Amino acid sequence: MTLLLLLLLNYLITFVFMNGPSRVTVPYSTFLEQLNADNVKDITAQGNNIQGDFKKSVTYGSASGTLFQSERPIFAQDNLEATLQQHNVPINAVPPGSGQSPVLSLLLSFGPALLLIGGFLYLSRRMQSAGPGGILGAFGQSRAKLYTPDSGPRTTFADVAGIDEAKQDLAQVVDFLKTPDKYQRLGAQIPHGILLVGPPGTGKTLLARAVAGESNRPFLSLSASEFVEAIVGVGAARVRDLFAKAKEAAPSIIFIDELDAIGRSRASSATFGANDEREQTLNQILTEMDGFTPNQNVVVLAATNRPEVLDPALLRPGRFDRRVTVSPPDRVGREAILKIHTRNLRLAPDVDLDDVAGATAGFVGADLRNIANEAALIAAQKGEDQVTKVDFDEAIERSVLGLRRPIVLGPDEKRLIAYHESGHALMGLLVPGADPVKKLTIVPRGLSLGSTYSQPIDDRYNYPESYLRGRITLALGGRAAEEVAYGAVTTGAESDLQQVNQIARSMVARFGMSPKLGPLNLTQPGDGNVAQHFSEETSRLLDEEVRRIVDECHRESVRMLTDNRDRLDRLAEAVLKKDTLDQDEIYAATGISKPPLPRPVIAPPLPANGSSRDRDLTKDEVGSEIRR
């Protein structure tokens, strides 16, 4: 409202007070014609600008009236003064720059500054009425959303599946919030802060909401990025306001999502003497958490997928002193998650959620929810009454491969793509221990012109060197097929080569699978990136070993496809006829017998002392490098 009033005042000053009455603008020739016709009553001249009154109304263009204005050309050679005197027209002269009243001139000079000062004072009073601290008091109020037991439908542990270990770790927190006296009478204190750590989509936020729902206590939720503003001191003020509200509603829960937005290590974000706003906010959080007492009964939950970048002061006892790992679910967990997300779906009898869980190895809760929703959308688009197994299969393919693209390929390019994808599929059948190939298609989907879809038969957490080499060999199968069939290579293997480089470099730099470099990890602790903290000689050896592994796998891929050239040709011709082949059709086209399930896992033999030479790895450590 204040802004509208200021704009209206500016309009009045500019267009009403300054411009004066409306006048008809006429050419100088028209003015002379009216002067010679004795129709000019009087004029006022200011420089070359002429204003005056006509005795009778004059129309020019769409405007008409007696008040007029005109501009005398500089090159005009007429004796205008004599002509005006001849027709008895009074002449008034105004000095340039004059004509305004002193009051109006003063208003135009100081008006903008007065308006700015008045607006600032008005906003300051409004903010003071919102709370103490003036401007900072208004901006410093926390934007956390408060959820109470009466806010609506609650989320409980029954709505969370696939992360049973995390639920068990948080059960004690829920029990404390429900019955704090049971712990306080023994002198026990609940952990001040609990950090939920896990990859994106695993259900960290959902788990925090379930804790609030189970405990039936007030729940204040916000993102860490909402603390920071351009005004210095606002972040710390919002932290103080947030904890003050939580203490008033105690026992209560504070949930801070994406904690790494403000909790980054202060050592890695030095500001060279500047008082960083983010650092002030972090310091205030550290102070508030360390000042808790058992009587306040405020529990802080926070979530992040990058715990390695957090400041060590946040993780010490007394602040976030308990860490709960929220890992991607296993097959049983995925089935439980699918049961929750399909509760409101009308499933056909042929839908087996255990099979769907087996086909989605590596998927997290958010992925599974998207799969269930996509299957329902596909069924509705087809006009079906129930969601079928085919709908789930197509939803999984959309999630992994992307949507189909309406691209018309020429016969030569289509045959080239058929050989490229057939090379991938055939290598998936020939490489020992490779994930079973489920589908081969030359229909453009997503960013690719063709796809070979492989599906793991189980969840794997330890990857031997032979498996990683097999993945490199399989990824190079498309390029090798082009070499064997055409004697040349194309640009179609770009994404394959990126995957090959990632796996080979990780084998050398992360997993110590190089005889020359030995059991060394050359990555930066925490983020897994290769850090240049080693010598140039080590860097040269790293590149040489990566090249050696890729070259060996490439030669092996070319050799295997050359030895099985007839199978490669048959598979390429089969996919050219049908565009898409399922698993049985792939085995039939190549003449290879389908192995019995479950397929044996190829692992390196154990030494005589019984200890494995391969390092135990978690799925998170290698998932991004070895999955397609």
Cα separation, 462 vs 520, in Å, equals: 18
Cα separation, 218 vs 147, in Å, equals: 6
pLDDT value for 122:
67
Answer yes or no: CATH 1.20.58.760 is held by domain 411-626: yes
Cα separation, 106 vs 103, in Å, equals: 5
Domain boundaries, the chain: 22-93, 145-325, 332-401, 411-626
Q: At 79, list the tokens.
A: 């004796």
pLDDT in tens, 146-198: 666 566 667 788 888 888 888 888 888 888 878 878 887 888 777 778 899 98
Domains 332-401 and 411-626 share a fold: no
CATH architecture of 332-401: Orthogonal Bundle (1.10)
Q: What is the largest CA-CA distance in the chain?
A: 128
Please provide residue 378's backbone torsions phi and psi, each rounded to the nearest 5 degrees. -65, -45
- Under a CB-based contact definition with an 8 Å cutoff, are residues 203 and 162 in contact? yes
Provide CB contacts within 8 A for 261, sequence distance 6+: 223, 224, 225, 228
Using CA atoms of 126, 131, 132, 134 in order, give the dihedral in degrees to the nearest 10: -30
Q: Is 59 helix (H, G, I), strand (E, B) or coil?
A: strand
Cα separation, 422 vs 420, in Å, equals: 5
The parts of the chain modelled with pLDDT lower than 50 are: 97-99, 129-140, 271-275, 295, 527-528, 598-628
Cα separation, 465 vs 515, in Å, equals: 12
Strand partners, 253: 219, 299
- Under a CB-based contact definition with an 8 Å cutoff, are residues 205 and 104 in contact? no
Please provide residue 460's backbone torsions phi and psi, each rounded to the nearest 5 degrees. -125, 140
Q: Is 303 helix (H, G, I), strand (E, B) or coil?
A: strand
pLDDT value for 238:
80
* 22-93 topology per CATH: 3.30.720
Question: Is residue 165 flagged as an active site residue?
Answer: no
pLDDT value for 363:
87
pLDDT value for 607:
44
Using CA atoms of 382, 386, 387, 391 in order, give the dihedral in degrees to the nearest 10: -30
What is the b/e burial string over 177-194, where b = at least 16 CB atoms within 10 angstroms of the residue's CB?
Answer: beebeebeeeeeebbbbb
- Under a CB-based contact definition with an 8 Å cutoff, are residues 354 and 339 in contact? no
Token look-up 């990555």 returns 523
pLDDT value for 229:
62
How many other CB atoms are there within 10 angstroms of residue 616's CB atom? 9
Characterize the bridge pairing of strands 193-197 and 252-257.
unpaired
Please provide residue 520's backbone torsions phi and psi, each rounded to the nearest 5 degrees. -120, 145
The amino acid sitting at 395 is: A
Residue 6 class from Cβ within 10 Å (0-12 exposed, 13-18 middle, 19+ buried)? middle
Characterize the bridge pairing of strands 451-454 and 63-71.
unpaired
Cα separation, 167 vs 157, in Å, equals: 7
Nearest to 13 by CA among 94, 111, 79: 111
Q: Which of 374, 421, 545, 556 is the catalytic position? A: 421
145-325: CATH number: 3.40.50.300
Nearest to 160 by CA among 170, 151, 150: 170
Nearest to 155 by CA among 82, 215, 66: 215
- Under a CB-based contact definition with an 8 Å cutoff, are residues 310 and 260 in contact? yes
CA distances from 359 to 362, 389, 392, 433, 533 (A): 9, 12, 10, 17, 41
CA angle 267, 269, 271 (to 5 degrees): 105
Residue 471 class from Cβ within 10 Å (0-12 exposed, 13-18 middle, 19+ buried)? buried
Nearest to 453 by CA among 362, 359, 338: 359
The amino acid sitting at 23 is: R
Q: What is the DSSP letter of 347?
A: B
